[in-house]
Amino acid sequence: MRVLLPFLALYRRHAWQMVLGMALAIVTLLASIGLLSLSGWFLAGSALAGAAGLYSFNYMLPAAGVRGAAITRTAGRWAERVVSHDATFRVLQHLRIYTFQKILPLSPGVIDRFRQAELLNRLVADVDTLDHLYLRVLSPLLGALVVILVVTLGLCLLDVSLALTLGGIMLAVLLVIPPLFYRAGKPLGEDLTRLRALYRQHLATWLQGNAELTVYAAAARYRGQLDDTERHWQQRQQRQANLTAMAQGLLMLVTGLAATLILWLAADGIGGDRHPGAPIALFVFTALAAFEALGPVAGAFQHLGQVIASAGRIADIINRAPAVTFPDTGPAAGGDAALEIGNIGFSYPDQPQPAVTDLSLRVDAGEHIAILGHTGSGKSTLLQLLTRAWDVDRGQILLNGRPLTLWSEPALRAMMSVVPQRVHIFNATLRDNLLLGAPKADDARLDSMLARMGLDKLREKEGLDAWLGEGGRQLSGGEQRRIGIARALLHDAPLLLLDEPTEGLDAATERRILDVLHQLGRGKTVIIITHRLQGLDMMDKIYVMDKGGIAEQGTHPALMAGKGRYFRYHSPGGV
């Protein structure tokens, strides 16, 4: 239960709506009880009065009460649904934002330990499950307690012993049945949460890898795993449905026995009257109606196990400490960027071999350098260390003479423009994707940048309003990369970091992009991570990495004259 406390605390922002929803639910329940009780008494009283009652029995007052209770119940039910669902959606919105804000700082150091489908399931399905806490547990439980109290006090005006008997039975049901079915439903709730997550993981794997699975004739095997998980999930759902039916059946049995007991006790007299007549029907129908308030509570607590399991899965992520933390204040962003990397070392978690070892280099403000090396030499890792996706294990990195760890995140991001190895295109327009780098840029500036990147074709039909689709699936890999470069150049930061910027481009386009980077990068500090050799002669300095360290460094002419690694890269088959 303790795992629910942090999420309950988040409900305070919407407390008034939730309280109003509970109040409307209570009013609706009481109106329903009043309607059935008054109708039963009215019918019994009318039958006993007979034809003589036309002159001695007041038909108008109870009829008006029945109509008023019916209208109150209808209006109350509608208002309760509107308020409760609005409160639930607002709580879910708050929970999703809260959870996402907790998850975001974990990337990539902690978040990489979870599969994408698993993260999505926890962020969406598990958060959605938490709405049961209000709709199926808190609201019905509070409503039932208030109804028991009001009904007992109201009936005490007629007969204290009968009222206490009915109230005691209802209170006993409320105290016994929910915990009983919570115990029975907790393992099922945990299994349902686990199997739901497992099913979605298998489904995501099957859909994402369908082409490869089909090519290698493994689709049937993966589909078999999916079907097997679904079968187990459905079996647990059936068992939960059976448990719900059992809870409702037990409540119906107790309701019938309680109504029979009240009828038997009322037959001996009500409030000292040995021949009460119509009030007997009032007590019996009140008992039948009051037990309707316990209906949602009887099966609600079996869902609590699923709620607790989902809350635990969410807490398992959001309670993790980020691998990298930023101070709130620090150096202010400036117009120049100089880097000094001093004897740094870094190893990925649970990896025996270090990714970067004893690496040192200096990049002056406005200098353009290239870092060359074969796959696995540590080039991309160095870029992640510069952007503080990870922190170094030893040594330090200085930006403008100040350690990276002293920079606030906004200031650090303002100092850097980054083109990662995998450029992400958002499911939005071309304009929206470019404005991520420069939110205040006008269309003329965006058009000029697209022209420089050779992306004129994207503007021919719909212009900047062209919809790029999910992940830019309608674009080629080269077009996606050029959009990423354009976005970085629009950001106009003093430090430009590019990881394989010309990967997937033909030779002519590659030369064009490198020329643009050289022109627009004047006055900026530019670091290009690459394994391609074209355009390296324009760089102020070249570093060759191997096994996480610097194997060679110098200008293009000096390295070619030295006939070392860099020279061999230029030989046929050298890279």
Would the pLDDT of 193 be above 90? no
Q: Where are the domains of the chain?
A: 2-318, 339-569
Calpha distance 184→431 (Å, rounded): 55
Percent of the chain topping pLDDT 90: 22
Q: What is the mean pLDDT of residues 108-113?
A: 76
The pTM score is 0.74
- Inform me whether the pLDDT recorded for 224 exceeds 80: yes
Looking up tokens 């009968």 gives 162
* Sequence-distant (≥ 6) Cβ neighbours of residue 240 within 8 angstroms: 185, 188, 189, 192, 302
Q: In what order do the strands lie in the sheet with 339-346?
A: 356-363, 339-346, 394-399, 402-403
Give the model's pLDDT for residue 418: 92
Q: First and final CA of the chain: distance in angstroms?
A: 59
- 232 pLDDT more than 90: yes
Residue 79 pLDDT greater than 90, yes or no: yes
* Residue 266 CB contacts under 8 Å (≥ 6 apart), including other chains: 159, 162, 276, 279, 280, 283, 284
With a cut of 90, say whether residue 75 has pLDDT above it: yes
What is the average pLDDT across 264-275?
Answer: 78
Query: Range with the lowest mean pLDDT among 255-259, 317-321, 327-331, 431-435?
Result: 317-321
- The superfamily (CATH) of domain 2-318 is ABC transporter type 1, transmembrane domain (1.20.1560.10)
Q: What are the tens digits of pLDDT across the range 480-536?
A: 888 999 999 999 899 999 998 888 778 888 888 888 888 888 889 999 998 888 888
Residue 307 has pLDDT above 60, yes or no: yes
The stretch 46-63 carries a mean pLDDT of 66
Residue 53: pLDDT over 70: no
Does residue 167 register a pLDDT over 60? yes
When pLDDT is averaged across residues 10-38 and rounded to a whole number, the result is: 87
**Kind plus residue range of the DSSP H or E element containing 129:** helix 127-129
Fold observed for domain 339-569 = Rossmann fold (3.40.50)
Q: What DSSP character marks residue 467? A: B
pLDDT for residue 498: 92
Provide the mean pLDDT of the chain. 85
Q: What is the pLDDT of residue 51?
A: 61
Phi, psi dihedral angles at 420 (to 5 degrees): -75, 175
Contact 375, 531 (CB under 8 A): yes
Q: What is the mean pLDDT of residues 342-362?
A: 89
DSSP string covering 387-407: TTSS--SEEEEEETTEEGGGS
Has residue 41 got a pLDDT over 70?
yes
Instruction: Please tell me the predicted confidence (pLDDT) of residue 82.
Output: 92
49 has pLDDT over 70: no
**Selection from 322, 397, 401, 307 nearest residue 361 by Cα:** 397
pLDDT classification of 58: cutoffs 50, 70, 90: low
The predicted-structure confidence for 320-346, as pLDDT tens digits, reads as follows 888 888 898 888 888 889 999 999 999
Going by pLDDT thresholds of 50, 70 and 90, the confidence category of residue 35 is confident
pLDDT above 90 for 57? no
Are 377 and 552 in contact by the 8 Å Cβ rule? The answer is: no
Q: What pLDDT is stored for residue 54 in this prediction?
A: 56
Please tell me the predicted confidence (pLDDT) of residue 99: 85
Tokens of 171: 């209170």
* More confidently predicted of 12 and 370: 370
Tell me the mean pLDDT in the region 533-560. 89
Indicate whether 572 pLDDT > 70.
no
